[in-house]
Amino acid sequence: MAEIEKIKNLPCWQQPVAVEPLSGGMTNLNFKVQEDEKHFVVRLGDDVPEHLVWRENEGITSQVAADCGFSPRVIYREPGVLVIDFIEGKVFTEKDVRDPTNQQRLVNLVHRFHSEMPHRFNGYPVLFWVFQVLRHYRNMLEQGGSSYLKQLPDLMAIAERLEIAVGSVVLVFGHNDLLPANFIDDGERIWLIDFDYAGFNSPLFDLANLASNSEFVEASEKNMLEQYFGHPVDDQLWYRYSAMKCASLLRETMWSMVSEIYSKIDFDYVAYTRGNEQRFERVYGEFTSQFG
């Protein structure tokens, strides 16, 4: 396997290493490496223009997040390669994220990440604005002759409505891909990993992403918002957050639609599209029922 040979020949090793593939990774390949008694993770992946993933941004963010104590130590990086410490711990599931004790810890982690990262980030300031990402995905689907072309006018009309509903925003440095598996609990602390989409954004996106990816109930969502913002949730905040939650699910759906055409990773994107589309339709239905 060419990737394993490439990893074995990286200049960061002092001794011969053992390499084994890891599951997961929808825009990259992951491997666990053992050198003597030490363990590492190697992420291999080139830029992914169709998803606006730039590995230089990922590498810089990983280094800064490690320096701030959010993410594992970066051992080595070069274009297309990132080597970090392996964290022995529990990779979260949706159920773990929904656990009230974990939820409080996660919201604190996300708030600190948003607040601290901009002061340490030293690179080109990438902006992740979900509605522009959706417009980009529309273009990619049209260029690729997607089977979902007939749905695009309706989806983009919904996106326009949601963008207006979200309104003006305060920018923070966001993770922008808070899937449960991007949190690891080592028994003492929760680590945050995988910064493919990191960049400046509204805090509402990460919060909506956290909740929608793990299917929070409304009471949990309002507790999350109150904890993050430090005040009760008023009607305006709930409206704007609810719109962003719809946008988060629409982005995940269209991300998968694009991946069906362009990705070379062995993953069932068709099923992933279907599952996220169903979540989006349900949540957007709740949005229209509540807000008209």
Question: Tens-of-pLDDT digits for all 292 residues of the chain?
Answer: 799 999 999 999 999 999 999 987 778 899 999 999 999 999 999 999 999 999 999 999 999 999 999 999 999 999 999 999 999 999 999 999 999 999 999 999 999 999 999 999 888 889 999 999 999 999 999 999 999 999 999 999 999 999 999 999 999 999 999 999 999 999 999 999 999 999 999 999 999 999 999 999 999 999 999 999 999 999 999 999 999 999 999 999 999 999 999 998 888 999 999 999 999 999 999 999 999 8
Residue 200 β-bridge partners = 127, 173
- What pLDDT sits at residue 152? 98
Phi and psi, residue 290, nearest 5°: -80, -40
How far apart, in whole angstroms, are the C-alpha atoms of residue 241 and residue 222? 10
C-alpha 34/C-alpha 13 separation (Å) is: 10
Helical spans, DSSP H, in the chain:
2-8, 55-67, 94-98, 100-120, 130-143, 152-166, 203-214, 218-229, 235-262, 269-291
Distance of CA 62 to the CA centre of its chain: 13
In angstroms, rounded to a whole number, what is the distance separating the alpha carbons of residues 271 and 155? 19
186: amino acid identity, one letter: D
Q: Please, are residues 11 and 77 in contact by the beta-carbon 8 Å criterion?
A: no
Tokens matching residue 228? 């993050």
The structure's pTM equals: 0.95
What pLDDT does 266 receive?
83
Determine the Cα–Cα distance for residues 142 and 258; give it in Å rounded to an integer.
10
In this structure, the number of other CB atoms found within 10 A of the CB of residue 127 comes to 10
Task: Residue 148: count other Cβ atoms within 10 Å of its Cβ.
Answer: 18
pLDDT at 165 (0 to 100): 98
- Tokens read off for 168: 């003006």
**What pLDDT, on the 0 to 100 scale, is given for residue 244?**
98
**In terms of Cα–Cα distance, which of 200, 166, 177 is closest to 251?**
177
Cβ proximity of 71 and 211 under 8 Å: no
210 contacts 115 by C-beta, under 8 angstroms: no
Distances (CA, A) of 63 to 69, 82, 108, 168, 177: 10, 10, 21, 30, 18
Strand partners, 78: 81
Question: Would you state the pLDDT for residue 292?
Answer: 85
Q: Is 54 helix (H, G, I), strand (E, B) or coil?
A: coil
Please list, residue by residue across 53-89, b when 16 or more beta carbons sit within 10 angstroms of its beta carbon and e when fewer do: bbbebbbbbbbbbbebebbbebbebeeebbbbbbbee
The answer to whether 43 and 81 have CB atoms below 8 angstroms apart is yes
pLDDT of residue 25: 74
Q: Please, what are the domains in the chain?
A: 2-85 (3.30.200.20), 92-291 (3.90.1200.10)
Q: How many CA atoms within 13 Å lie on the side-chain side of 65?
A: 28
- Token code pair at residue 9: 């020949």
